[in-house]
């Protein structure tokens, strides 16, 4: 275990050095030029997220991309649709979406948590709780990381169930499922309002349990990168046991399969299977798992010609606008 802790410490030190270099050489001079010295602290945090996104994109291009070309589920027949998904990925991974949240929503969070702090409500600080129960083991960064990863994955499972359970939420989330040409870029293909709702719930949970900022960044980064793998156009299963330990591309593709992933009865009723983001354990426990060994076409039933050929949009702004229209009609 010592070697693992040393490896984590070395990576953290290297990441910290890279973040400092990127901030001092590029971000800080830009802020001074724009008279934004008051934003230096927030910009340093944003630089960390930018670095994480650059690392993720590098891994996608160097590892997941070649895997897709090695064992694709289907031939690439709609490159324009994939290019739109690339826009979504860059928007999120390079921090542009977080900048939007920073100016639009973060002041509200600061006011809320500031008011709670004044009244003595500061969160649970879970790491202190399990530190008292398992001294000597729970004080390691590795232990804390896996506990937080498990907790946030459980939260993600129930958020995902909600996106498929409530008609108003599905009106937004259905954009994610409307991709007929699924690839490693499809993970970030979401309606922006859907992302705001999900991020709000994640931030509330993070503040409530007192996860350290560094651990939170690590949990988000690892989760997102594995989600890129899960959405890949990749014929890959982890085997009978592995499929039950970690979500594979095959397991998650079933979640996107027409008539299986977003339906409970095969007739359009909201629900579905395989909601887990990382660990199929939750689908097994709550009886929503499907381990069939198959690779079906992806999309939504109402996109099919004989089901109405519903339009979800080809371009970024068309997809966002049509999502709002679906939401209004279900309100």
pLDDT digits (tens, 9 = 90+) for 126-162: 666 655 555 555 456 777 888 899 999 999 999 999 9
In a domain, 5, yes or no: no
- 17, part of any domain: yes
pLDDT of 78 higher than 80: yes
Residue 138: predicted pLDDT: 47
Q: Which among 60, 36, 38, 56 has a CA at the least distance from the CA of 48?
A: 56
Q: How far apart are CA 268 and CA 270, in angstroms?
A: 6
In a domain, 6, yes or no: no
Q: How is the chain split among helix, strand and coil, in percent rounded to 5?
A: 70, 0, 30
Tokens of 186: 């499809």
For residues 241-261, give the mean pLDDT: 93
Contacts of 103 (CB under 8 A, 6+ apart): none
Query: pLDDT value at position 251?
Result: 96
pLDDT of residue 164: 94
Closest to 60 in 3D by CA, of 68, 70, 49: 68
Q: What angle do CA 211, 214, 219 make, to 5 degrees?
A: 70
In a domain, 301, yes or no: yes
Contacts 24+ apart (CB under 8 A), 7-12: 8/141, 8/142, 9/141, 12/214
Please check whether residue 220 lies inside any domain of the structure: yes
Residue 320 is assigned to a structural domain of this protein: yes
- pLDDT at 290 > cutoff 50: yes
Distance, CA of 78 to CA of 199 (rounded, Å): 30
Pick from 277, 73, 262, 83: nearest CA to 176: 262
pLDDT of the residue at 45: 81
User: How many structural domains is the chain composed of?
Assistant: 1
More confidently predicted of 19 and 106:
19
In a domain, 1, yes or no: no
The model's pTM is 0.88
Residue 4 located in a structural domain:
no
Domain that holds residue 234: 11-330
Supply angle C-alpha 331, 311, 292, rounded to 5: 90
Angle between helices 192-209 and 96-104 (to 10 degrees): 70
CA distances (Å), origin 77, targets 23, 80, 96, 182: 41, 9, 29, 11
């Amino acid at each position: 275990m010592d070697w693992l802790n040393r490896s984590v410490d070395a990576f953290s030190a290297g990441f910290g050095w890279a973040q400092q270099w990127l901030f001092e050489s590029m971000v800080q001079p830009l802020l001074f030029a724009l008279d934004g010295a008051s934003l230096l602290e927030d910009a340093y945090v944003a630089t960390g997220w930018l670095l994480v996104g650059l690392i993720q994109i590098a891994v996608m291009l160097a590892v997941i991309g070649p895997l897709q070309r090695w064992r694709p589920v289907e031939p690439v027949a709609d490159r324009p649709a994939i290019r739109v998904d690339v826009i979504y990925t860059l928007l999120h991974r390079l921090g542009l979406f977080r900048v939007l949240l920073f100016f639009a929503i973060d002041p509200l969070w600061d006011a809320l948590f500031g008011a709670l702090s004044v009244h003595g409500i500061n969160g649970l600080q879970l790491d202190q709780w399990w530190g008292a129960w398992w001294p000597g083991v729970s004080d390691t960064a590795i232990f804390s990381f896996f506990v937080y990863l498990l907790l946030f994955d459980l939260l993600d499972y129930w958020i995902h169930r909600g996106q498929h359970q409530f008609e108003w939420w599905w009106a937004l989330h259905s954009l994610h499922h409307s991709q007929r040409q699924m690839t490693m870029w499809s993970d970030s293909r979401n309606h922006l309002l859907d992302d705001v709702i999900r991020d709000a719930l994640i931030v509330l949970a993070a503040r409530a349990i007192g996860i350290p900022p560094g651990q939170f960044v690590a949990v988000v980064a690892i989760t997102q990168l594995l989600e890129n793998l899960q959405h890949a156009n990749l014929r890959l299963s982890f085997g009978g046991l592995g499929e039950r330990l970690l979500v594979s591309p095959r397991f998650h593709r079933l979640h996107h399969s027409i008539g299986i992933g977003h339906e409970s009865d095969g007739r359009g009723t909201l629900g579905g299977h395989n909601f887990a983001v990382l660990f199929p354990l939750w689908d097994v426990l709550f009886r929503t798992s499907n381990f069939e060994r198959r690779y079906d076409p992806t999309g939504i039933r109402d996109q099919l010609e004989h089901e109405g050929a519903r339009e979800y949009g080809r371009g970024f702004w068309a997809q966002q606008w049509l999502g709002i229209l679906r939401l209004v009609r279900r309100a």
